[in-house]
A = this chain, B = another copy of it.
C-alpha cells in the first residue's frame, strides 16, 4: 500500500529518525533539511513550521502501527494465539531495528507538558495499542483484567525500550514479548 513517496513523506521519514536519535529541540530545521538534501528554507514549502513536522511525524508512525500492527488484533478469523504472536512479532521487528527507541515514548518525555498537540497524538497511539492488546486478552480475561494487563504491558514495553536504548543491549527487551504471549498461551 506504499503511496506516492512524495517529498513530504521523505521529510517525515528523515525527521522521525532525527527526532528519535537527537530529540525534538535538539534537531534543527537545518538538520532535517540536510538529511533530505534540501536547504532549510525549502522545507517550508512542505510544512508550515517545525511543530507541523513533529505532529506529522507522530501521526505517520501512529498510522503505520494502526494499519500494520494494531489491526492484527481484530483479525478474528485467526486464532488469538496466532494473532498475539504476529502482533508481538511486528512490534519486536520494529523496535529491535529502531535506532533511538520509540518516537512516542521519547517525545512523550521530552515534550509532555509543553506541546499539547503532540501529547494528543501520543496518547491516541498508546490507547490504540492498549485497546488492541486488551481486545485479544479478553478472550481469556475479564474486560477489566484485560485492560489492566494491556496497560501494564504497554508500560513495560516502553520501559524496556528505554533500557534497551540506554544500554545498547536488546537482551532484556525480548522477554517482554514472550511474557505477553504466554499470558494467552499458558493453560490457566
A172, B156: Cβ atoms under 8 Å? no
The chain B residue sitting closest to A155, CB to CB, is: B159
> Is A21 part of the binding interface, using a Cβ–Cβ cutoff of 8 Å?
yes
The chain B residue sitting closest to A123, CB to CB, is: B166
* Known A26-B114, A106-B110, A114-B26: A155·B166 in contact at CB below 8 Å: no
A23, B25: Cβ atoms under 8 Å? yes
| Main secondary structure on A side of the interface with B | helix
Residues of chain B contacted by A163 (CB below 8 angstroms): 126, 151, 154-155, 158
A175, B155: Cβ atoms under 8 Å? no
Give the Cβ gap from A66 to chain B, nearest Cβ, in Å: 18
Residues of chain B contacted by A152 (CB below 8 angstroms): 156, 172, 175
A114, B22: Cβ atoms under 8 Å? yes
Residues of chain B contacted by A160 (CB below 8 angstroms): 155, 159
Q: Which of B21, B108, B157, B175 lies in contact with A113, CB distance below 8 A?
A: B21
Give the Cβ gap from A131 to chain B, nearest Cβ, in Å: 14
Give the Cβ gap from A36 to chain B, nearest Cβ, in Å: 20
Residues of chain B contacted by A165 (CB below 8 angstroms): 108-109, 112
| Complex: A75 Cα to B158 Cα, angstroms | 32
The chain B residue sitting closest to A151, CB to CB, is: B172
CB under 8 Å from chain B, chain A span 141-180? 148, 151-152, 154-160, 162-163, 165-167, 172, 175
| CB pairs A–B below 8 angstroms (16 shown) | A22-B114, A23-B25, A23-B109, A26-B114, A105-B162, A108-B165, A108-B166, A126-B163, A126-B166, A148-B172, A151-B172, A154-B159, A154-B163, A155-B160, A155-B172, A159-B159
Which residues of A line the B interface, CB within 8 A? Answer: 21-23, 25-26, 100-101, 105-106, 108-114, 119, 122-123, 126, 148, 151-152, 154-160, 162-163, 165-167, 172, 175
